[in-house]
Amino acid sequence: MRAVVQRVTGAEVAVAGEVIGRCGPGLMILVCAMAGDDEGKPAKLAAKVAKLRIFADEAGKMNLSVRDIGGAALVISQFTLAADTRTGNRPGFSSAAPPAEGERLYEAFAAALRAEGVPVETGRFGADMAVSLTNDGPVTIWLEV
């Protein structure tokens, strides 16, 4: 699984003009299940995200996790993280998990992150979504497990 994790002061996702998920201070996470990902990947990625120390402590150092600050997460499915751009000008996405598997692993990631003690809201798998956020820092981290 791949993820782009952004530290945010707030984020929201809308489908057809209706906001379906939002978070305040915390993380906006774009997630992609890759072909061949097994059942253990969502929990492994969720544990990594929950413990990722990218929030400032009282000394201004990045020493705190989203759990430490009492933050939340907005989790969005993003199959384009599987883009292969090595040749040509049109990205290929054949390394992404098939849709049914991708949805199952995406939902498993959101559930595993909740089990790690992080409040989670989500987008809608496969939908055309409008995502807005205020990146704090900016801090953006690429993860792959």
76 token code pair:
């969005």
Alpha carbon distance 60, 37 (integer Å): 37
Pairing of strands 120-122, 129-144: unpaired
Tokens matching residue 106:
């995406």
Instruction: Give catalytic residue positions.
Output: 78-80
Separation of CA 15 from chain center: 17
Q: Give the strand pairing for 62-64 and 129-144.
A: unpaired
Tell whether omega for the bond before 138 is within 30 degrees of 0, i.e. cis.
Answer: yes
- Alpha-carbon span 66 to 56, nearest angstrom: 10
SS3 116: coil
